[in-house]
Amino acid sequence: MKPMNENQQPNGPKAWIQISPDPIPVEEILQRVRDLRCGAVVLFLGTVRELTDGRRTVSLSYESYEQMAELEIRKLIREAQASWPLRHVAIQHRIGPLQLGDDAVAVAVSSPHRKEAFAAAEFLMDRIKQTVPIWKQEHWSDGQSEWIHPGAE
């Protein structure tokens, strides 16, 4: 899916969202949030790990109701921008099959100061996992699989 249009008010913060099967272009994500007015850029990458609760993962699959997911992420960005002095936010979540070590999600923010940038990035990632309609299917080494829905830890 193509990225949503950037949302920018004159001299105001920008938000960029993409839900896509494409690999996450980390350098591009960072460039989207860099700003000379900001002393802090925080980038969080969620990656596919090998072990979850003692079970060996062989791969993940993500599915999404993309339009609703984009609207929910946009809402979360507005909440974060109302709580912290953010200049820019860029979020990409992958869908489709992913292998061990692949980046599944990127959340990047810029702010004048690090404390606010860290807090906003953590808030956004936590809320994405809780409310955005993106479902994860874990494929285990024993041949079983399990769907994880938003709000599940």
- What's 104's domain CATH number? 3.90.1170.40
Burial classification of residue 91, based on how many CB atoms lie within 10 Å of its CB (0-12 exposed, 13-18 middle, 19 or more buried): buried
For the chain, what is the domain count? 1
User: How many CA atoms, within 13 angstroms, populate the side-chain half-sphere of residue 96?
Assistant: 10
> Residue 130 and residue 69: Cα distance in Å, rounded?
12
User: Is residue 4 situated within a structural domain?
Assistant: no
Q: What is the mean pLDDT of the chain?
A: 91
Q: Does the pLDDT of residue 8 top 70, yes or no?
A: no
pLDDT in tens, 62-97: 999 999 999 999 999 999 999 999 999 999 999 999
CA 13 vs. chain centroid, Å, equals 18
* Maximum pairwise Cα distance, the chain: 54
pLDDT > 50? residue 3: no
For residue 4, the model assigns a pLDDT of 40
Question: How far apart (Å, rounded) are the C-alpha atoms in residues 109 and 116?
Answer: 10
- Write out pLDDT tens, residues 21-31: 999 999 999 99
Answer yes or no: is 60 within a domain.
Answer: no
Q: Which residues pair with 62 in a beta bridge?
A: 96, 136
Q: Output the six-digit token pair for 111.
A: 């702010």
Residue ranges making up the domain that contains 118: 16-47+65-134
